[in-house]
Amino acid sequence: MDKLSVLNEFFGHRAFRKGQEELIDHILSGSDVLGIMPTGAGKSLCYQVPALLLSGTTIVISPLISLMKDQVSALLSSGVSAACINSSLTPEEYSDTMYRACRGEFRLIYVAPERLGTQEMNRLVSSVRIPMVTIDEAHCVSQWGQDFRPSYLHIAEFIESLPQKPVISAFTATATDTVKQDIIRLLGLREPFSLITGFDRPNLYFSVMNPDNKYAALRRLIGGFGDKCGIVYCLSRKSVEEVCEKLCADGFSATRYHAGLPDTERIANQEDFIYDRRRIMVATNAFGMGIDKSDVSYVIHYNMPKNIESYYQEAGRAGRDGSPAQCILLYSGKDVKTNEFMIEKSREENTDLSEEEKDIMLERDRQRLKEMTFYATTSGCLRESMLRYFGEKAPSYCGNCSSCVNGFEEVDITVDAQKIVSCVFRIKQKGRYYGKSMVIDVLHGSGNERVRSLGFDKLSTYGLMSDTPVQRIRAELDHLIMQGFLSFSGGEYPVVELTAQSARIVKDKITVRMNLPKEKPPQGRKRAEDSFYAKDELFEKLRKLRAKLAAEEKVPAYIVFSDAALRDMCRVRPTRMAVFLTVSGVGKKKAEKYGEEFCRLISEHISTHPDDDKPRG
């Protein structure tokens, strides 16, 4: 059997995606590889296909139990012998799995890094041939990455202890040059073939909103998605609790996930989401890595993350099956301050690092937060901004983000700029600088107690912009800071300060212009394909059949078939097994298992809908 036969028979695909075949060929030739591929690009197939062609048992090192369980369930459903070894197994399950593993019954075994040095693992690797060791989420080995895990540092030692040197394959969705070099060095990759397929996900629509009322905006957005599945990310456990409670009170099918919950509740809530018992997951960044749920239609960030790497990974959990999906960031200036506090706090928690290393990481994290803020406040193409951060060139117009779809126009804000700079100057005359919120409150003429108690309601700039929306004032203030006409200091209490360039606005009266979004409803572009299938009767029938089969087998629905596979069934409309096998995502095992029922349903639908498109078979 060759690589294309494996791809077709077990995974139901007729051709490889970008980069997959090159990585597979190098693995099969005995070369170590490093694949940096975006979520949804098919990293798993890059090691699963060669694992079925190599003689022996491939070990896959994975950081999370949920990731292992999803991968193993999908493999078993496709007819591949696989197992996982982690703390979720009962003593009886663990004993049986290790016994079968030592007999060489599995082609792939997923292992948590903490298990590598155990006596059972030593017995396993001395009992069977290990042709390849795969490291998933390989960026976890680097302390300069966003998800550093000390247990990953012991992987190289484990590989060195193996009786025969295996091929090492490492994969991740995000890695800067520094992290990439760390992966190669710390995992002991030998002159690896490295491949970066690109970070663009064309099926994802990116949007940034700056609403006055975040929850009202969130509720409106989720209401527009109907019964589609989505994730809402919050920065803190408190926000998760508040948002989830409000959504449930408003009648939405939501659950929650954060590190402060008991293990039993956290696992139960995760399974409710994966098995479609709840449609919305409200979570901190503790949720998500390795969640292989393919039908997530939207990811909304209720707060801005602290770096673009985290945002890219979390937003990328939408549209994993290639279907259109939306990634929406609800930005607020308060998010910057919250992230600064969390960055400072993490410095003190890194007790394993020297003071010099702590300072380096602190500066790195501050710079990453600044880059994330630039993304959240840019009036240019969001996709271009993100790809540029990862070192990838992209057009300045993508046609699939809020900036490009809604459009923007260059506006003369000279008069507003003079008012804003003058306000900062007048506040400083009272004794010291204050933060963005105070400057905005004074300009907008807020009647809050703090403004009055400081005497700022008596300033000449008080209420100068009372007719201007607060959101517009904030955008213009951020623009002046980004252009260097004002500065925004870091620290525990960040303040807006004058700079050497400030005088150019007030005294020299230079012209100041900025791009502002055109006044349009903040909605993503509707896609014909998305709206068609959302209403397509056959698609809904297929979803219900898939849900019934998944419930019977006690597996998530996407393990049976992805939404993309159901859409292809709507296109092909197979009524015979031979044609059913041509559907993307349908392999031999799944065709034998599910083909008859799906073909029967499609045939019945066609007989009652004679005006529908003529089926192919």
Q: What are the E-state strand segments in 462-581?
A: 486-488, 496-498, 513-517
Q: What would the two tokens of residue 315 be?
A: 């937003």
Among residues 420, 459, 460, the alpha carbon closest in space to that of 440 is found at 420
Helix H, strand E, coil C: the string for 157-183 is HHHHCCCCCCEEEEEECCCCHHHHHHH
Tell how far CA 176 is from the center of its chain.
16
Beta pairing class for 496-498 and 33-36: unpaired
CB atoms within 10 A of CB 447: 9
What are the structural domains of the chain? 3-196 (3.40.50.300), 204-406 (3.40.50.300), 409-517 (1.10.10.10), 536-608 (1.10.150.80)
Q: Which two tokens stand for residue 363?
A: 């500066």
Residue of 183, 173, 122, 119 lying closest to 149 (CA atoms) = 183
Q: Distances from the Cα of 27 to the Cαs of 51, 131, 236, in angstroms? A: 9, 10, 42
> Could you tell me which of 166, 130, 125 has the C-alpha nearest to residue 30?
166
Average pLDDT along the chain, 617 residues, taken 10 residues at a time: 91 89 96 88 92 95 81 90 87 91 94 88 92 93 78 92 93 83 93 89 92 94 92 94 96 94 89 91 80 85 92 89 91 88 77 75 84 86 88 81 81 94 94 90 91 93 91 85 83 81 91 74 42 63 92 88 89 91 91 93 88 55
pLDDT reported for residue 530: 44
pLDDT for 322: 81
Cα Rg, the chain, nearest whole Å: 27
Total length of the chain: 617
Q: What are 282's strand-pairing partners?
A: 232, 256
Q: How far apart are CA 505 and CA 297, in angstroms?
A: 45
Asked whether the beta carbons of 203 and 319 are under 8 A apart, the reply is yes
CA angle at 319 for the pair 238 and 49, rounded to the nearest 5°: 115
Cα three-residue angle 419-420-424, rounded to 5 degrees: 115
Amino acid letter, 462: Y
In angstroms, the CA 227 to CA 245 distance is 18
Tally of helices (H runs) and strands (E runs) in the chain:
27, 17
580 near 574, Cβ under 8 Å? yes
End-to-end Cα separation, the chain, in angstroms: 28
Q: Give residue 387's Cα distance to chain centre.
A: 15
Query: What sign has the CA pseudo-torsion 43, 49, 55, 56?
Result: positive
Distance CA 140, CA 145 (A): 7
Residue 617 and residue 574 in contact, taking contact as beta carbons nearer than 8 Å:
yes
Give residue 437's pLDDT: 87
